[in-house]
Amino acid sequence: MKKTKFGYIAPVEYLDLIPEDADFHLILAHLLKDKQYAAYYREKADRGDTIICDNGAFEFKRSLDPEPLMELIADSGVKPTYVVAPDYPFEPWSVTYDSCINFIRMTAKEDYKIMAVPQSETGNWKGWLECYKRLAELPLVDVIGMSILGMPNAFCELTGTKDIATNRIFATAYMIENGLINTSVQHHYLGLGDGPRELIVQRALGVMDTNDSSSPFWHAINGVLLDDSATGLISGKSKIEVDFHIERSKKKHSIDNKSMSVEKMIRANINWMRNILEE
């Protein structure tokens, strides 16, 4: 299977549990206002780690505008490798494409590179593919983001389901079969669908270069261990929105009649992810 770099997304109070040897990260622009968060990733950037700074489109269903996004990065002192250009889920593909071109112009003097995320209206898979094609051909776009919003939103017309993993797997396979993958760019799969085992299929398909998720941390915080079911989450993905400023918990959860601390569960989930990434 293709080697894939994985970025652990953790609430601020749990950043220290991200493995020290993890050298790929996706950071959230709106959290750069937090001094502890910014300091942690300044150190990672300074030691040479690869850092993608996201634009808030998933958290807020609309990207931060270019100026506030650039200001957050500049004020934080974090030097990301890539910044995600503003993208617009559920809107015509041309809105995202035009916005990316504008962002490239605005950031011409910046040190970071550009990641672009194709989007389209619901069911408009042809529009999504056109957006992908055009964004991947832009000379200053180095990474394409394969979104857990954009791809299910577009390919649901073909698959008949809104399931994130199903749609992204189908879309990736469709693109491979029809010779639509642009191999001159890297492909970052944003987040995971209904379970982290999507990683296995995507790695087998061979397009995914990098991936990120809060799943190992957030499920452990909520008392859930990743498992050997088809998705890795036999009871399904947590419906609770990730709280990045949740206080560090000292409570213990009962797992198979044994008591486990949140920290121990996080470490167990991290080991589970590492096994998946090494299979």
pLDDT confidence band for 10 (50 / 70 / 90): very high
Task: Give the pTM.
Answer: 0.95
Does 51 map to a domain?
Answer: yes
Does 250 map to a domain?
Answer: no
Residue 232: CB atoms within 10 Å: 24
Burial class (CB in 10 A: 0-12, 13-18, 19+), 193: buried
Does 178 map to a domain?
Answer: yes
SS3 88: coil
Does 138 map to a domain?
Answer: yes
Q: Where are the alpha helices (DSSP H) in 29-124?
A: 35-46, 57-60, 66-76, 93-106
SS3 143: strand
Structure confidence by residue, pLDDT tens digits, 105-121: 999 999 999 999 999 99
Run of H or E including 8 = strand 5-8
Structure confidence by residue, pLDDT tens digits, 80-103: 999 999 999 999 999 999 999 999
Structure confidence by residue, pLDDT tens digits, 148-200: 999 999 999 999 999 999 999 999 999 999 999 999 999 999 999 778 889 99
Please tell me the total count of domains within the chain: 1
Q: What is the CATH number of the domain that holds 81?
A: 3.20.20.70
Does 128 map to a domain?
Answer: yes
Does 192 map to a domain?
Answer: yes
Task: Quote the domain boundaries for residue 200.
Answer: 5-214
